[in-house]
Amino acid sequence: MVSSMNARRHKDSSKMEQKKRKLPSTNSTLLNFFKKKPGPDENIEKSDDVSREKYVENKNLTQAVQETNKREHFDARKNDIGLFIRRDLLSDEEKATVLTNLWLPNHNYVFPLNEKNKKRGLKFQHKWLNEYNWLVYSEVEGGAFCKHCVVFAKTGGIGNQPLKHLVTEVFDSWKKAKEVFRNHSTLAYHTFSLLKSDEFLKMYSKKEPTIVERLDTDRIKQIKANRERLIPIIDCVILCGRQEIALRGHKDYGKIDMESSLNQGNFRAILKYRAYGDEYLKHIITSEGRNKYLTPQMQNEIITACGDIMLRKIVKDVNASKCFSVLVDETTDISTIEQMAMCVRYVDSNDCIHERFLKFITINSLTGCDLAESILNGLNSCEINLDYLYGQGYDGASNMSGQYKGVQAIIKKNYPKAIYVHCAAHSLNLAVSTASGIQPIRNCLGIIEKYYVFFNTPKRQNVLLTNIENSDEDPKVKTLKRLCATRWVQRYDAVTDFIELFAFVVESLENISNWNDSTATEANILLKAIDSEFLISLQVIQVN
């Protein structure tokens, strides 16, 4: 028993000796053999470093996933179809976005599991987007839509089919999704929406105008054509106005006959003459149709429009000058209507004085208060800034120049800078009228009138014109004017014209006095009338 136990101990001790004497393995090296083995603390630190590296790596991966999800969410919010549904009106840019540039989930996108499908665990499938090219997914609404019907399906079409799922309401029940998709593809309003989408994209890509834009374009072309037709007509009206000739005759209506010799008035005659060298104008005035723009009413409208344009330009210049005077005179026209002619006088940017007519004002009362109100209302209606009113010019009537209740006093009360000046033209008229009462002046004006009557025959006028043509001088006027009994301006012009032609008048009288008829006697009498008193009176009238 003892010997067997000893034998076992000896065997175990022999095994231990063999382990101690066992050589290193072939993978070991001399350096590894002498290398310091790590302690327990060092093993813990190394394990911590590995864990920390794995933590940082996992954290970076998590952040990258979060950033990707954020970008996916941002893109979805930007062009998600859920932002365009249930809107009454979409712009062309928005329609193009829905049809061509909607957000689409990528292959890594995980579709959510909503409450309706939790029991069966159903989700939207990526492959459905490839099977149905009209199908789009909305992250905002959490379901599917038909992009074509969202844009163009406004009614149910034939049979008034209801617009609900996939159009105005989100579709998010995936149990029979493919059956619903197939059924939607056969609906009438879906087919109509597809056609409208194709038509829209063709026009949008080529920038072709829509039907509304085409109608607007046609309307613009028609407006342009009408304006081109009006240009020669407006030119004729302006020409008649500049030359101070009447527009209409006794037969100013109907179609213009290019071959007729009937006098239809100055306006139609000028237009007809112009049409001979303008085929487009000739076609307009001779073609069939009613809108020729040649009626008297149209002529009056053109005149009114020209007046408005001129008035706006005058008002602009007056306000720019920041200083003006108002000139007003009242008169009765041929229809016995009391009217007031209103003018302004101002200095432009080039320091040139301008006197411009503004408008006629019909008046019902001649009191100073009512006339002042009419003047101020007239200036305001022209949009002239009354703060720049520095002067007033009227005649010497009491209702105009009165110190207390005259127009000038009432206006000056409201605008103290508006100084009243008695109109120089009216003052001259009064001076001439008063001077006309003096016998030498009265006789001088009477003799001038006799000269006009004497030369107002073709034969005698021809003598005067011959003497003018044979002379070395070139007077501005060729004939004498009559003294007007009421218009002082024309009376003064008649005097100045007589003075300019005085030498030719005397020469012509001397020639006619040699004739063998009674005309020679009249010529001698008129020659005898030219004495020192006449010549002095003539110079006095000219100076005044």
The DSSP line for 155-171 is S-TTTT----BTTTB-B
Residue type, 56: V
- Confidence category of residue 487, pLDDT binned at 50, 70, 90: low
Query: Is pLDDT at 103 greater than 50 in this prediction?
Result: yes
Place of tokens 């149905």: 132
Query: Is pLDDT at 531 greater than 70 in this prediction?
Result: yes
Query: Is pLDDT at 324 greater than 90 in this prediction?
Result: yes
Mean pLDDT for the chain overall: 80
- Whether 249 is in a domain gets the answer yes
Instruction: Name the domain boundary from 275, 294, 313.
Output: 294
Segment 219-248 shows an average pLDDT of 86
CA separation for the pair 313, 307 (Å, rounded): 10
Query: Is pLDDT at 24 greater than 60 in this prediction?
Result: no
Q: Among 90-99, 127-136, 227-236, 275-284, whose mean pLDDT is lowest? A: 275-284
* 457 and 392 part of one domain: no
CATH number of domain containing 348: 3.30.420.40
- Whether 120 is in a domain gets the answer yes
What pLDDT does residue 76 have?
A: 47
- Whether 165 is in a domain gets the answer yes
- Confidence category of residue 106, pLDDT binned at 50, 70, 90: confident
Query: Is pLDDT at 266 greater than 50 in this prediction?
Result: yes
CA separation for the pair 425, 327 (Å, rounded): 11
Query: Per the structure block, which two tokens stand in for 216?
Result: 């607007």
* 201 and 262 part of one domain: no
Place of tokens 């104008």: 281
Would you say 282 and 324 are in contact if contact means Cβ atoms under 8 Å apart? no
Name, in order, each residue with C-beta under 8 angstroms of 80's C-beta and a sequence gap of 6 or more. 102, 103, 138, 139, 140, 141
What pLDDT does residue 285 have?
A: 76
Instruction: Name the domain boundary from 181, 206, 231.
Output: 206
* 435 and 351 part of one domain: no
Query: Is pLDDT at 258 greater than 50 in this prediction?
Result: yes
- Residue 185 phi/psi, 5-degree rounding, is -65, -20
- Whether 506 is in a domain gets the answer yes
DSSP string, 59-115: HHHHHHHHHHHHHHHHHHHHH-GGGTTT-S---HHHHHHHHH------TT------G
Question: How many C-beta atoms surround the C-beta of residue 224 within 10 A?
Answer: 10
Segment 338-358 shows an average pLDDT of 92
Q: Among 190-199, 213-222, 256-265, 462-471, whose mean pLDDT is lowest? A: 256-265
Maximum Cα–Cα distance for the chain, whole Å? 204
Name, in order, each residue with C-beta under 8 angstroms of 275's C-beta and a sequence gap of 6 or more. 256, 258, 281, 282, 285, 286
Query: Per the structure block, which two tokens stand in for 146?
Result: 């038909």
**Who has greater pLDDT, 292 or 5?**
292
Query: Is pLDDT at 357 greater than 90 in this prediction?
Result: yes
Q: Among 43-52, 178-187, 196-205, 313-322, whose mean pLDDT is lowest? A: 43-52
Query: Per the structure block, which two tokens stand in for 461?
Result: 């006028």
* 325 and 349 part of one domain: yes
Place of tokens 């009227």: 394
- Whether 9 is in a domain gets the answer no
What pLDDT does residue 208 have?
A: 59
- Whether 65 is in a domain gets the answer no
* 374 and 276 part of one domain: no
* 372 and 270 part of one domain: no
* 101 and 149 part of one domain: yes
Q: 121 is in which domain, residue-wise?
A: 80-206
Would you say 234 and 302 are in contact if contact means Cβ atoms under 8 Å apart? yes
- Whether 367 is in a domain gets the answer yes
- Confidence category of residue 299, pLDDT binned at 50, 70, 90: confident
Segment 378-389 shows an average pLDDT of 93
Residue type, 222: Q
Query: Per the structure block, which two tokens stand in for 360?
Result: 């006629």
What pLDDT does residue 321 have?
A: 93
What pLDDT does residue 56 have?
A: 45
Query: Is pLDDT at 342 greater than 70 in this prediction?
Result: yes
Segment 32-52 shows an average pLDDT of 49
Segment 411-437 shows an average pLDDT of 83
* 417 and 435 part of one domain: no
**pTM (2 decimals)?**
0.48
- Whether 34 is in a domain gets the answer no
What pLDDT does residue 156 have?
A: 65
Query: Is pLDDT at 72 greater than 50 in this prediction?
Result: no
Cα distances (Å, whole numbers) of residue 191 to 30, 147, 202: 85, 12, 17
What total of structural domains would you count in the chain? 4
Q: Above pLDDT 90, what percent of the chain?
A: 25
* 464 and 500 part of one domain: yes
Q: Among 230-234, 284-288, 405-409, whose mean pLDDT is lowest? A: 284-288
Query: Is pLDDT at 20 greater than 70 in this prediction?
Result: no
Q: Among 3-12, 110-119, 154-163, whose mean pLDDT is lowest? A: 3-12
What pLDDT does residue 374 have?
A: 93
Within a 13 Å sphere around the CA of 223, how many CA atoms are in the beta-carbon half? 6
Nearest of 133, 151, 138 to residue 97 by alpha carbon: 151
Nearest of 543, 437, 422 to residue 492 by alpha carbon: 543
* 283 and 391 part of one domain: no
Name, in order, each residue with C-beta under 8 angstroms of 90's C-beta and a sequence gap of 6 or more. 84, 98, 151
Instruction: Name the domain boundary from 405, 422, 439.
Output: 422
**Who has greater pLDDT, 123 or 88?**
123
* 91 and 179 part of one domain: yes
Q: Give me the sign of the Cα torsion angle 516, 521, 526, 528.
A: positive
- Residue 145 phi/psi, 5-degree rounding, is -145, 160
Segment 292-308 shows an average pLDDT of 87
* 202 and 219 part of one domain: no
Query: Is pLDDT at 205 greater than 50 in this prediction?
Result: yes
For residue 118, the Cα-to-chain-centroid distance in whole angstroms is 62
- Confidence category of residue 371, pLDDT binned at 50, 70, 90: very high
Exposure pattern of 289-319 as b/e (b: 16+ CB <10 Å)? eeebbbeeebbeebbeeeeeeebeebbebbe
